[in-house]
Structure 1
Amino acid sequence: MNELIDVAVLTTADSEAGVALGIHDAFWLVGRLWNQAHGLEDTPVFAPRIVTATDEPLMTATGVTINPGASISDGAASGIVFVPSLLPCEGKCLPDVEPNLLDWVKQSKAAGARIVSSCTGSFLLAEAGLLDGCEATTHWAFVETFRRRFPKVTVHGERTLVAADEKASVVTAGGASSWTDLTLYLVGRFAGEEEARRLARMSLFDWHHQGQNPYARLTIRSQTADAVVRQAQEWIALSYDQRNVIQRIIRRSELAERTFNRRFRAATGMSPLEYLQAVRLEEAKQQLESDDATVEEIASAVGYDDTSSFRRLFKSRTGLTPAEHRKRFKAPPIYYGSPKRSSSG
């Protein structure tokens, strides 16, 4: 029997317990679940373990207590170190990581371990200095926070998986559920593509080929310092479905067009047109997910007379067509089962 590959799931009090345990179980299932379903002998490939700062039970931020399989005092890892997502504090700030955990990650990297993270776990890798001068990704909602905190890292918020180097010795994954993409990638790399396909089929894991853009909700920087821009934002929120919106808000501002555009971009990071498009597309997303109106009806409802232009813009900004977005994100109907036949029938 081949030696099992060690997978150390580094878990802290700020980790999402469900993600940490999901990662652990997914690797444990490789070579087991498919085989058992098909009457074959188990052929495990990985030896996953939850690793924490101490060997004491760990209470996570979501109230779940985890009994670790090992602690960092047991020595550096040599296989895979997987850092799951960290839950944010108030103000979308990520928690500080204990220095001893950062040291352990760096020691594991020096010992030859592959270091990977999902979602906001990339903050821990960046804090350890493993991403300096490299490329990475993180959850779309924390991209700007990441950029401000780690200016030496080039962050791609639209991507699902990003390797920091040619050898992929450090890999980061984007949004919360992207841990499944990263797990499939690692299974494919270490156990073969067929094992990755089997895990995907048995666990119903779906590759996020389109990146994070389809999942991103509009994040508009609130504006309070510039009253003119704040009023323009409020008016757009109420009038995005009307025609000639930009011209009308410029007239309302009583500023020269160039001056208004400059102040608006300085305050929001977008041009007025980009901001309007973002608001319209966010509303379109929500309508696609919540009702059965046609794409033409939704385009018109959010301010687009030309449905073709709307489709092109939607695809360019989200990576999906409106129909594809609806198919992926609209809640499925609940199946209650076939009605029972009457005993007298």
Structure 2
Amino acid sequence: MSAVEAMDGQPPPASIRVALLAFDDVEALDLAGPYEVFTTAARLHARHQPGTPPLFDVRCVARTTAGGVVVRARAGLRIVPDGDFSDAVLPDVLIVPGGVVDDAMRCPDTLAWIARAAASARVTASVCTGAFLLAAAGVVRDGAVTTHWEDVDDLRRQFPRLDVRTGVRWVQHGGAGRLFTSAGISAGIDLSLHLVERLAGRALAGRTARQMDTPWHPDPQGVSHA
């Protein structure tokens, strides 16, 4: 069974490895929103199916710098990743958040890791301006994408081959269901809930949204400020 298909609402037997990229000036909710969705889904799955392997093994990954691997998010929140590019296991699901991405886009190590992780991942997704990083890494070269409403024109200018959509919460790139991009910040929660639905069934995605006490917009054409 594919990692993007649930059979009768049942998840695959082994843990699904989820990696979230962390970098200086990452938007905190871009990272924390998906992190909360996948870890909450794993907790609820364990509650309903005790004794089974964890549904999601969720890790934050960052580039090692001279100052260590502590990442300073936008507005100053400090994040301690679980690993760096040298020791992180390649994921089944790669989440690339956004934020102020200028330095990350100029970092060869970061772009190389994104490209390598995306090549092995069964699902790759960006949140907000993470779409710039996917494009800069060559993961997405054309086709439909989206990003934060404030950055639509800039994404079109920098990567003119992309079909940058507005008025959507998230976009599936192509028909294979392996690549997704979301609109800004909180839209990453909607996209992550959609991925939980794809990976483990709609019932678990719905329970996860309820546990998080967040409205879920399953329709990507739903509420957006773009």
TM-score, scaled to structure 2? 0.82
Q: CA deviation at 1:75?
A: 4.9
Give SS of 1:119's match. Answer: coil
Question: How far apart, CA to CA, are the structure 1 residues paired with 2:189 and 2:94?
Answer: 15
Q: CA deviation at 1:78?
A: 3.2
Counterpart amino acid of residue 56 in structure 2:
F
Question: How far apart, CA to CA, are the structure 1 residues paired with 2:190 and 2:153?
Answer: 23
- Specify whether residues 193 and 82 from structure 1 end up closer, same or farther in structure 2 by C-alpha distance, changes over 3 A only: same
* 2:72 alignment partner in structure 1: 59
Equivalent of residue 49 in structure 1, options 49, 53, 59: 59
Give SS of 1:9's match. Answer: strand
Q: CA deviation at 1:68?
A: 0.7
Whether contact under 8 Å (1:5, 1:79) holds in the other structure is yes
2:170 maps to 1:193: no
Q: Which runs of 5+ in 1 are unaligned?
A: 89-93, 217-345
Whether contact under 8 Å (1:157, 1:212) holds in the other structure is no
2:140 maps to 1:131: yes
Whether contact under 8 Å (1:161, 1:173) holds in the other structure is yes
Counterpart amino acid of residue 18 in structure 2:
V
Counterpart amino acid of residue 80 in structure 1:
V
- Specify whether residues 210 and 26 from structure 1 end up closer, same or farther in structure 2 by C-alpha distance, changes over 3 A only: closer
More strand by share: 2
Is the radius of gyration larger for structure 1 or structure 2?
1
- Specify whether residues 26 and 42 from structure 1 end up closer, same or farther in structure 2 by C-alpha distance, changes over 3 A only: farther
* 1:300 alignment partner in structure 2: none
Equivalent of residue 85 in structure 1, options 98, 107, 117: 98
* 1:342 alignment partner in structure 2: none
Mapping for residues 5-44 of structure 1, pairs under 5 Å: 5-33=16-44, 36=47, 41=50, 44=54
Q: CA deviation at 1:35?
A: 6.1
Give SS of 2:75's match. Answer: coil
- Specify whether residues 32 and 155 from structure 1 end up closer, same or farther in structure 2 by C-alpha distance, changes over 3 A only: same
Q: Which runs of 5+ in 2 are unaligned?
A: 1-11
Whether contact under 8 Å (2:15, 2:56) holds in the other structure is yes
Q: Which has the higher contact order (CA 8 A, sep 6+)?
A: 2
- Specify whether residues 112 and 124 from structure 1 end up closer, same or farther in structure 2 by C-alpha distance, changes over 3 A only: same
What are the superposed Cα offsets for residues 144-200 of structure 1, whole Å, 9 maximum, x if unpaired?
A: 111001101111022222122211211101121011111111101111111111101
Q: How many residues align?
A: 209
- Specify whether residues 24 and 143 from structure 1 end up closer, same or farther in structure 2 by C-alpha distance, changes over 3 A only: same
Q: CA deviation at 1:42?
A: 6.8
What are the superposed Cα offsets for residues 191-247 of structure 1, whole Å, 9 maximum, x if unpaired?
A: 11111111011112323447476524xxxxxxxxxxxxxxxxxxxxxxxxxxxxxxx
- Specify whether residues 164 and 130 from structure 1 end up closer, same or farther in structure 2 by C-alpha distance, changes over 3 A only: same
Question: How far apart, CA to CA, are the structure 2 residues paired with 1:195 and 1:155?
Answer: 31
* CA-based RMSD: 2.4
What are the superposed Cα offsets for residues 245-290 of structure 1, whole Å, 9 maximum, x if unpaired?
A: xxxxxxxxxxxxxxxxxxxxxxxxxxxxxxxxxxxxxxxxxxxxxx
Question: How far apart, CA to CA, are the structure 2 residues paired with 1:211 and 1:12?
Answer: 30
Give SS of 2:192's match. Answer: helix
Give SS of 2:156's match. Answer: helix
More helix by share: 1
